[in-house]
Structures are given as structure tokens and as C-alpha cells.
Amino acid sequence: MNVGRIIKIAKNVFWEAIRDRILYLIVFFALLMVVAVRLIPELSIGTEDKIILDLGLATIGILGLIVTVFIGTGLVNKEIEKRTVYVLLAKPLSRSELIVGKHIGLSAVLVVLLAAMTLIYGLILSLSGIYYPIVSILVTVIFIFIQLSLLTAVAILFGVFTSSLLATLFTFGIYLMGNLSRDLVKLGDLSDNPGIKKLMMGLYVVLPDLSRLDLKNDAVYGLLPSMATLVTNFGYALLYIMLVLSITIAIFARKEF
């Protein structure tokens, strides 16, 4: 792979996504946090700080998910539908470079989006006099990014061989099932049917275990898993991203244009 060509593709994806009004999401997040800080203390007593902390982190994750799914599924699919993929592949650009460049480009967009929202989040909390455990919050946002980067790879995979609508639905499905994958195993254990147990265990093995990348519930209390657990979960996500991108490249290489 040529690093220069990959970076060029990534830059194009980055600036195109920024032009697609991604920055409006940052303004929306800021307004939501301001409203939450003003209204929630009037609606709850004693737990308002935790609710605001939870709401902020949840909103960061949801807005990042929206960008990941709706932009990620169209990164390659849009090139195929508009026939611009012919122009791209006519240049000295390999299909693997195109896939990797698209993934890096959208991941860079997510870095900017999450960094901006986290900065606004901390600033509003500080100005409102709300205590927040900064280290656990920052680690949580980093793992939100890792989760979204993994979902970006999944979105690109589905976008390679399905329509934009189906790719969007499938990616949302992976997100939901990935966060409930451990519950699927427990559900299988409750069944007396061996077939259902094997099915649930198979889904757990195949689907990404996104719950291990979700630290939001404990982060608001300043709690984090051990360093060994964090490193293990990071390595798990990285390997999964590489696997999904490899599958995507293999499928894309077989497509005829």
C-alpha cells in the first residue's frame, strides 16, 4: 500500500464530511448541554449532577454513532452508485488503499467531533460548578471513539455489497446486538434447547462485543477497569477492525466495475 495515496483519500473524506454540516452537530450538542444544565436541576433533586454527566456522555456517543452510520455506509456505496469508483480505480490507486483511506478519513472526522464535544462538555460542567472525574471521562471518550471506529469498518463493509438503506439498517443492528451480545449468551443459557444455546454462543463469537468498550456507566463515578482490562479491550477492538477491513477489501476486490 502507498501511504501517500491513502492519506490523500483520507483527506478527501475528512473535508467532504466536514462540508456535510457535521459541525452543526457540535452546535446542537452545546445547546443541548446548556438546556440540560438549566432544566434538569429543576426536575430532579440530589441526582441532577449524575443525570447531566450521563446525558452528556450518552449524547456524545449517539451523535458519533449517527455520523458513523450515515456517512460510513455511503463512503464506498456512494462511489459505486455514482460510478465515480471507475475514475478512482482508473488512477494508480488500489482497492485496499481506497478502503483503508476511507476508514482513516472518517475516523479522523470522529476524532474532531468527539474532541470538540468533550471540550464543550467539560467547559459547560466547569462553568456550572458540576464536579466531573476528568480522567475517567477522557478514557471513556477514547473508548467511544474506538467503538465508533470499529463500527465505521462495519459500515464500510456493508456499504460495499448492499444498498445504502440496507447497510444503514445492518450497521445499526450490529451496534444494538453488539452491545447486547453478552445478554444473548445469558438468554441461550436460560433455554433448554441446545440449538438455541449454540446459536446464541455463535452470535456472541461472531458479533463484536461492543459492551466491553462502553465505560459510561462507571465513568461518572470516577471508576475505570484495570489497565490490563483496558489494554486487552483495546487490542480486541483493533484486531476486530483489522479483520473487518480485511474482509471488506477481499469482497471489494472481487467486485467487477
Q: Spell out the long-range contacts of 149-152 with Cβ–Cβ below 8 A and sequence spacing 24 or more.
A: 149/103, 149/107, 149/110, 149/237, 149/241, 150/208, 150/210, 150/213, 150/237, 150/240, 150/241, 150/244, 151/65, 151/68, 151/69, 151/72, 151/175, 151/210, 152/68, 152/72, 152/103, 152/106, 152/107, 152/110
Query: For the chain, what is the HEC assignment?
Result: CCHHHHHHHHHHHHHHHHHHHHHHHHHHHHHHHHHHHHHHHHHCCCCHHHHHHHHHHHHHHHHHHHHHHHHHCHHHHHHHHCCHHHHHHHCCCCHHHHHHHHHHHHHHHHHHHHHHHHHHHHHHHHHCCCCCCHHHHHHHHHHHHHHHHHHHHHHHHHHHHCCHHHHHHHHHHHHHHHHCHHHHHHHHHHCCCHHHHHHHHHHHHHCCCHHHHCCHHHHCCCCCCCHHHHHHHHHHHHHHHHHHHHHHHHHHHHCCC
pLDDT in tens, 48-99: 788 889 999 999 999 999 999 999 888 877 776 666 665 666 667 788 888 8
pLDDT of the residue at 86:
58
Least confident of 13-22, 104-113, 128-137, 185-194: 185-194
Least confident of 7-21, 134-148, 167-181, 229-243: 7-21
Q: Is pLDDT above 80 for 156?
A: yes
pTM: 0.90
pLDDT of the residue at 143:
96
pLDDT of the residue at 44:
64
Number of domains in the chain: 1
pLDDT of the residue at 114:
96
pLDDT in tens, 165-220: 899 999 999 998 888 877 666 666 666 667 776 766 766 777 888 989 999 888 88
pLDDT of the residue at 50:
86
Least confident of 89-93, 122-126, 156-160, 235-239: 89-93
- Measured CA distances, 229 to 83, 222, 232 (Å): 45, 16, 5
- Whether 245 and 160 have beta carbons less than 8 Å apart is answered as no
Which amino acid type is present at position 235?
Answer: G
- Print the domain residue range for 146: 3-254
pLDDT of the residue at 253:
81
Average per-residue pLDDT in the chain? 85
Across the range 87-116, mean pLDDT stands at 86
pLDDT of the residue at 74:
84
